[in-house]
Structure 1
């Protein structure tokens, strides 16, 4: 078996286990999540969303600094791992102190005392997360995703059940907070049991300088990226009510559900895979364009399909009290294929070390979306969603052009390669919306009929117009 075929087999094997682990847990998690949404109020979700601005930012930066350099490094010596482990422990300890001390300031900024309580409680998670960084990074570097998938499945299921029980017993927004803490604590414990750190931490900085440099650039990118994707809640939280932010948060979380489950799966595997092809940029370019086409063929019907039946789906699963979330959810779902496409370029750029390139791209996107948010936030939750729909496509056009230059592919050929898939998606949406003129009653039966019609029309369109991509999918699935 050649080196490239071996890597392909390893990637497909990893993808199978990660997909299996996610698939076995997501159905249950979605059911439990929708049940929790029925119990809690928009104010509950608003409080957690505001607190999550700081907590998720610090957690994302910490994870990027601790894990990405260990995966990307071409050569990794024991003393470098030991040194970087010590540095990671220091970073997580500082983040714990930082969040705890900033809690009251953030709460005063948003005029909500509960926010401070939430931030002080979940700050303790950083001390737990510090212990799993090196083991998790080494497992990902070795593409041992079977073990990671099992750990993730168990911790997520237990956390989802715990959140539901806490919500039922009247814990309000604390059900969401404690559920997240349970997930983190259980995951860390399982990682340490099954794959403890291979060495003790040291604090000799010179032993891990290359890792520190890459981690520093990655942390800058992660910070800018986090600010970008949380601009809506950050800006909206200052201008809108907590209830409006809660409505938008539920809409956004629903729209992002498919992306949050599919994209991390692809990124988790593609980053170490691309890192192993650092000396073969032409192969990376080939795989990037192919991944975009194959990714779109799966995600387009999910995002646009959900958008076309959102007004039937949301009342059925989370209740009529969330009817204000229907339009924002629909608008965000329409946009999601572009967001998915942009993020799908990132693992290759990271693997090749083009972090500054990603930083500039993110600044472009943040500039366009910020202007749109300030202009449209006066329309409440719908305005925040509309801002994404208006601002992001303009920025995506610039970013796509930059990616085409970086990875040396023709924009015209790229757009032509996905045009038939897009056309199939448009036909699917048109058929669903046409059927709504006759299936006017909002009930489960009509919802299932609309989903069936959309699925059938999209599948037939692909069979008629995009047989090449279908053959590629069949070859990928049948590869061993």
Structure 2
């Protein structure tokens, strides 16, 4: 199978996996949001930074190194496997010992036991990291889908049953553990690779040299991505963390879904054409425009219809999250742009530049948090938007040089789609006010607003000959 067919096949199965995963996760989150309290979600969100840090330490960027290594052999895979496993055990022990201090920091005593139990997922997940890496390297996303979807369904059933029977926050904890265990068992069953009893120091140094910079970059990114959750959790009630977490996760849904679909395929694809700069730029440009064409209008329409959307999906108790969500939607539009610009640095093997950019962005983020914190939660939210806008220009500095595709050129290519989305969003907002005055129910407001927004956006895109719509039509016709 040639690379184009592999990429299309990978994109198809990745789409099914990601869409299926997000669809199930979103559906289950609606059910759990109705059964549980915002404070239950807030407690889990408080642990998010520690769970993410544990995952970063376990992987240490070595998986990306394996993917970009064209001639990786059994020694490479075995070496990284045993390293991941040892680090996962060490990380669990460290988290276990730090649990009392974490609980004390948030003034939430029950967090001590929660994080000690939840962190078992570190060790479980370490057993399947290489299996996933090998499947990704071979662009075998069909197997990954056949593993992830059943695991998620089973764990979701466990979580909903526990929540229905009053287990509260523990329904979220055990759902995560069951999902990790189910997926790991299936990956070992489907992927016939088994680690040899080998550990090559030289190969470890090679992968760690590349991965170490990604690890530090990942740690910085995790700390500052979760900085707002940490600050809100430290100085505000757990329910406020729950509102922020719900708003943030919902605004990330369209961006992260599409980005994950494309990123899983694009990184191996970019890696395979990393030395053909003309082709790399062309592919990168088309992918970026297509993702923004889908993400920007979706998020803007969701922001406009946020009040009926939250009330319909999550009930009245989640309405305080609406203004948080509307502000954070700006970050959601910028998320794919950040992701793909940084991906180019990894493809080119410049993890040193990746780390450098992360340090610069975090310094700016610290300044923004320090200033915006004085204005409460809303100040923090607007500060995060400003940091994200500045991050766009920082992220495009080196990738723009590698691709000869500057921040200004990227802005010119993406601005028509974003501008049109904002204009149509304004039309939808005016229509929604009319429907609200005439006492239409929330479902009708969401349905009519979405339909009108989508029809107008597609019509104007066709009228103004936006390239992404043309590409999308060609893809559909080829299918």
**Preserved contact between residue 164 and residue 175 of structure 1 (Cα < 8 Å):** yes
In structure 1, the partner of 2:49 is 53
Q: 1:372 aligns with which of 359, 368, 373?
A: 368
In structure 2, the partner of 1:167 is 163
**Preserved contact between residue 81 and residue 208 of structure 1 (Cα < 8 Å):** no
Are 2:391 and 1:395 equivalent residues in the alignment? yes
Are 2:303 and 1:304 equivalent residues in the alignment? no
* Structure 1 Cα separation of the partners of residues 226 and 138 of structure 2: 32
Per-residue deviation, residues 211-236 of structure 1 (Å, max 9, x unmatched): 22122222112111211211111222
Give how far 1:53 is off.
1.5
Are 2:420 and 1:459 equivalent residues in the alignment? no
In structure 2, the partner of 1:292 is 288
* Structure 1 Cα separation of the partners of residues 123 and 407 of structure 2: 46
* Structure 1 Cα separation of the partners of residues 129 and 446 of structure 2: 44
* Structure 2 Cα separation of the partners of residues 382 and 169 of structure 1: 36
Give the TM-score of the pair, scaled to structure 1.
0.94
| Count of residue correspondences | 476
In structure 2, the partner of 1:144 is 140
The two structures, once aligned, show a CA RMSD in angstroms of 2.0
- Which range moved further: 184-193 or 157-166? 157-166
* Structure 2 Cα separation of the partners of residues 140 and 104 of structure 1: 38
Which stretches in structure 2 are left out of the alignment for 5+ residues? none
Q: 2:82 aligns with which of 67, 74, 86?
A: 86
Give how far 1:379 is off.
5.1
* Structure 1 Cα separation of the partners of residues 398 and 333 of structure 2: 18
SS at match of 1:437: helix
Per-residue deviation, residues 112-131 of structure 1 (Å, max 9, x unmatched): 11111111102222221121
Give the TM-score of the pair, scaled to structure 2.
0.94
- Which range moved further: 178-187 or 358-367? 358-367
SS at match of 1:339: helix
Give how far 1:292 is off.
1.2
Give how far 1:25 is off.
4.2
In structure 2, the partner of 1:256 is 252
CA separation of 1:443 and 1:119: change in aligned 2, threshold 3 A:
same
Per-residue deviation, residues 261-296 of structure 1 (Å, max 9, x unmatched): 222222111111112123223322222222111111
Are 2:69 and 1:70 equivalent residues in the alignment? no
In structure 1, the partner of 2:410 is 414
* Structure 1 Cα separation of the partners of residues 202 and 223 of structure 2: 31
In structure 1, the partner of 2:217 is 221
* Structure 1 Cα separation of the partners of residues 255 and 415 of structure 2: 21
* Structure 2 Cα separation of the partners of residues 383 and 351 of structure 1: 36
* Structure 2 Cα separation of the partners of residues 345 and 371 of structure 1: 23
* Structure 2 Cα separation of the partners of residues 461 and 142 of structure 1: 40
Give how far 1:202 is off.
2.4
Give how far 1:66 is off.
4.4
